[in-house]
Amino acid sequence: MGKTYAYARVSAKDQNLQRQLSAFNAFGVDPRRIFCDKKSGKDFEREQYKKLISKLKKGDLLVIKSIDRLGRNYGKIIEEWKKITDKIGADVLVLDMPLLDTRTKSNTLVGKFVSDIVLQVLSFAAQNERENIRERQAEGIKAAKNKGVRFGRPSFIYSEEFLSVANAYREKRVKLSAALQTLGLKRDNFYYHLKKLKQFNG
């Protein structure tokens, strides 16, 4: 029987990994087999991820919380997924999306077909959200400059995850309680940064 590993990632050094680690603990992953990076998901040049891949063997299982924790580049996610499942021969389970569980791939052709489609859709969504965030930031900076606003580098660099959650909250796609839990922030702190972000974006 293969070993079970887990991989967690956040984009910035000041972000909290606890939500992902708690999910792995509940699943029963040995803490010694959990690998964590605090780095952007734009590519797979990450120290702990590389170390994890070097240990994965055929028959092992890799558990991740959500597909965007693996990465945010559509093409690279697909490429890395294929390397893990086809080249190495390990399985992958995405806790937030049970359909993405390659342990079922040998059972039915339909199961593998559905899994492949879900993977591609979610990978595309992860990259699309990242590009939308970058575009909104650029538009905000341009609008501020057009208004004659002068500003330097913000004292707080907002992570991709914060920007994504903040945008979802503003558009009423997530509730305040869910946003606070995801980011590990208190309500007053969250509102403070929402206001700062709005000022920064013009």
Residues tagged active-site: 11
Q: What's CA 78's distance to the chain center, in Å? A: 14
- 3-class SS at 98? coil
Find how far residue 113's CA is from the centre of its chain. Answer: 23
Both structure tokens of 60: 């092992």
Three-class DSSP category at 96: coil
CA 29, 35, 37, 41 torsion-angle sign: negative
3-state secondary structure 13-64: CCCCCHHHHHHHHHHCCCHHHEEEEECCCCCCCCHHHHHHHHHCCCCCEEEE
In a 3-state reduction of DSSP, which class is residue 163? helix
State residue 65 phi and psi, 5-degree precision: -75, -50
CB-CB contact of 123 with 67 (8 Å): yes
